[in-house]
Amino acid sequence: MDIIFYHPTFDTLFWIAELEKQLPGARVREWKSGDEQPADYALVWHPPVEMLQGRDLKAVFALGAGVDSILSKLREHPEMLPLSTPLFRLEDTGMGLQMQEYAVSQVLHWFRRFDDYQDLKQEARWQPLEEYQREDFPIGIMGAGVLGAKVAEALQYWGFPLRIWSRSRKSWPQVTSFAGEKELNTFLNGTRVLINLLPNTAETVGIINSSRLAQLPDNSYVLNLARGVHVVEDDLLDALNSGKLKGAMLDVFSREPLPEASPLWRHPRVAMTPHVAAVTRPLEAIAFIAKTIGQMERGETVSGQVDRQLGYVSPACAGFLLLSGADSCYSCHKQRRRL
């Protein structure tokens, strides 16, 4: 079995050695421009069109959770990857725990009013503030997928009221589920801390905008862990300046690195990190890829295949048998007709 690997920043030699260890018998090579030798699988992040085009691959694995950059390249260059080639993405592989750490620490920071105490410290003021109550601090998670579920689980442990918003309704114990566009405003009306864990698709771009932010109670908070393009940054700044929002913590931005001129850098109520909320953990990622390739080779059930039309992994898709040669995942077709 031949595997080609391309990542602009990862330690390629480490990945190749570890992949060969976990997939005995596989020959893994770094793809370089001009390499047209046959391959069975490709492991990629921001791949050049030339790497994938014209190949007869059994599958492509994205080396991250979000596949938006690959899908947008595919829209420009559909010839890069035929629909018959399944595209997989990483499911959790250590990212769930990192998202839990990030979300819990930030929610507790706001809940315990550390932002206010930091302001008081600047003025050398010793002043205990009224405590917030958990019942006044409902948390709303947009996106109830692999990472949204992990974050909900961690926040549930801390006793916060939880609501989630997704395309399809969920029945999770003690979590209020809202589904679809029609229920979005109701979801927002009761959300004090809005956590975004949606995938970047045509339907979700710009979803956190002035009219949606207006639905939140006053003095709310926004935590964006998914993609910068979900948030209309000017609208977020307006909401912060008007007092609708009390704070925002942003890991992702519409342009990365965030341009020096962006007012987000200097806004006193905006905190940020440089797209590090959950990074790809090589050993866990390689274990997932090796397991999935093994399952495919044996004709078994696999999970993590992206529905290229939806732009992410449809819940109905996960765990269904992949029909080799089919133009997509078998279960997706059934699901699409039902929706």
* Contact region with ligand OXD (CB under 6 A), list: 58-66, 136-144, 167-175, 260-268: 58-66
48 is in the binding site of which of ligand OXD, ligand NDP, none (Cβ under 5 to 8 A by kind)? none
CB of 308 to ligand OXD, least distance (A): 16
Longest dimension (CA), the chain: 69
* Contact region with ligand NDP (CB under 6 A), list: 47-55, 165-173, 213-221, 256-264: 165-173
Judged by CB under 6 A, does residue 231 bind ligand NDP?
Answer: no
> Is 227 a known active-site residue?
yes
Judged by CB under 6 A, does residue 223 bind ligand OXD?
Answer: no
Q: How far is CA 19 from CA 22, 30, 60, 160, 292, in A?
A: 5, 12, 15, 41, 12
Q: Which residues neighbour 123 within 8 Å (Cβ) at sequence distance 6 or greater?
A: none
Judged by CB under 6 A, does residue 197 bind ligand NDP?
Answer: yes
Judged by CB under 6 A, does residue 168 bind ligand NDP?
Answer: yes
Q: Out of 199, 229, 250, 286, which residue is the one contacting ligand NDP (CB under 6 A)? A: 199
Judged by CB under 6 A, does residue 151 bind ligand NDP?
Answer: no
Question: Exactly one of 192, 227, 230, 308 is catalytic; which is it?
Answer: 227
Q: Out of 16, 23, 66, 332, which residue is the one contacting ligand OXD (CB under 6 A)? A: 66
Compute, in degrees rounded to 10, the torsion defined by CA atoms 68, 73, 79, 83.
0
Q: Which is nearer to ligand NDP, 138 or 315 (CB)?
A: 315
Judged by CB under 6 A, does residue 96 bind ligand OXD?
Answer: no
Q: Out of 47, 64, 86, 161, which residue is the one contacting ligand OXD (CB under 6 A)? A: 64
What is the distance, to the nearest Å, from the Cα of residue 242 to the centroid of all Cα atoms in its chain? 29
Judged by CB under 6 A, does residue 256 bind ligand NDP?
Answer: no
Q: Which is nearer to ligand NDP, 161 or 311 (CB)?
A: 311
Question: Exactly one of 275, 281, 333, 336 is catalytic; which is it?
Answer: 275
**Residues paired with residue 60 on neighbouring β-strands, in sequence order:** 42, 87
Contacting ligand OXD within 252-311 (CB under 6 A): 280
SS (H, E, C) 14-39: HHHHHHHHHCCCCEEEECCCCCCCCC
| Distance in angstroms (rounded) separating the CA atoms of residues 134 and 122 | 27
| Distance in angstroms (rounded) separating the CA atoms of residues 285 and 289 | 6
> Is 192 a known active-site residue?
no
| Distance in angstroms (rounded) separating the CA atoms of residues 101 and 249 | 14
Are 185 and 211 a contacting pair, CB within 8 Å?
no
Comparing CA positions, the residue from 320, 280, 315, 301 lying closest to residue 92 is 280
Residue positions counted in the chain: 339
Q: Which is nearer to ligand NDP, 168 or 241 (CB)?
A: 168
85 is in the binding site of which of ligand OXD, ligand NDP, none (Cβ under 5 to 8 A by kind)? none
Q: How far is CA 13 from CA 113, 171, 221, in A?
A: 46, 44, 42
Query: What six digits make up the tokens of 170?
Result: 């969920």
* Contact region with ligand NDP (CB under 6 A), list: 4-12, 110-118, 225-233, 258-266: 225-233
Judged by CB under 6 A, does residue 199 bind ligand OXD?
Answer: no
Judged by CB under 6 A, does residue 335 bind ligand NDP?
Answer: no
- Contacts with ligand OXD by CB under 6 A lie at 64-66, 280
